[in-house]
Amino acid sequence: MISSNFTKKNFLKALYLKIADRRAYKKYKFQLQEEKWRRKADFFSAHNSNKSLRDLKGLETIGVVHSGNSGDIIYSLPSLLKINELTGRKFNFLLKLNQPHNIGEHYSHPLGQVMLNEKMIAMLTPLLESQEYIEKCEVYYDQVIDIDLDGFRKAGILLDRGDIGRWCGYTIGINPDLYIPWLSVEPDIAFNGSIVISRSERYRNSCIDYSFIAKYEKVFFVGVKAEYDDLKKLLPTIKWIELQDFLKLAQIIAGCKLFIGNQSFPFSIAEGLKVPRVLETYAFSPNVVPQGPNGYDFYFQNHFEDLVSSLYE
């Protein structure tokens, strides 16, 4: 642990500094923020119980636990794939039920106030267990844990920026290969030549209009019904695919010609598969970064339309 010479001011001293010297106050506020981060990071480092690669090599199967959200789970997989490459060991993927989420009150969430419920775990399990490096997936109760994949929430990592795919690697001490596929499924050829879209209520770029996509044929939507109904106002012929599990979702995305999404769960699958994909970037939390072949992102409407046109031809 590194010692710090920073001293937090009481309310009156901070208020006086704000009035008397704005420049010094801004510097103080930055130092205060940095100190909070340092203390959190120091605490995590002192209490990090994740096993080392040397210890992991001695295990028959590596137990990992995650509380969600679903997209965060998918973005943890490149770190597991890297560990599998380095140790030759497979994973028992344990999922915690009903852990509270921390999204803003002005957003709705498909699962209400929790990150994972029983239905979501049942939908995730076929996809996770279909991956060669995962032995099994089950609900966590008191099984042995060798790696806590929730560590990124405790480590002081700034979660509104950077790249979600690196978060678990930071807390484990490995560097995942984000430019190669970390998901593998059999493509659903029924969706050859199609555009598949997912656009959640959260993470929408308010400058972006999807109505130009009406000129394309074979356009499908994956996501919750309310999100589909909203997009259908702009794209009257778009068709909604109701999914029984997320292995089927991955097969549909693997089979399509182009996937378009914002920073929500389905894009994590497209990113893991490395299919041709276009990301609607959210300016206030740009923490999803397409890596490797076929991946593109945009902020502005004209670039969005140009990308779709060039990738669909």
| Per-residue pLDDT tens over the stretch 279-312 | 999 999 999 999 999 999 999 999 999 999 999 9
Position 1 pLDDT exceeds 50: no
What are 203-213's pLDDT values in tens digits? 999 999 999 99
Tokens of 16: 């006086």
Can you name the residues that pair with 82 across neighbouring β-strands? none
User: Across all residues in the chain, what is the average pLDDT?
Assistant: 93
Please say if the pLDDT value at position 109 is more than 70. Answer: no
CA-based nearest residue to 95, from 108, 111, 107, 82: 111
Q: Report the alpha-carbon distance of residue 133 to residue 77 in Å, rounded.
A: 10
- Report the predicted TM-score, pTM, of the whole model to 2 decimal places: 0.90
Checking if the pLDDT of 3 tops 60, the result is no
Of 301, 300, 294, nearest to 258 by C-alpha is: 294
Query: Tell me, what's the pLDDT at 5?
Result: 78
Beta bridge partner(s), residue 197: 221, 260
The answer to whether 173 touches 79, Cβ cutoff 8 Å, is no
Return the pLDDT at 247. Answer: 98
Angstrom distance (rounded) from CA 122 to CA 214:
34
Overall average pLDDT of the 118-147 stretch: 96
| pLDDT above 90 coverage of the chain, percent | 83
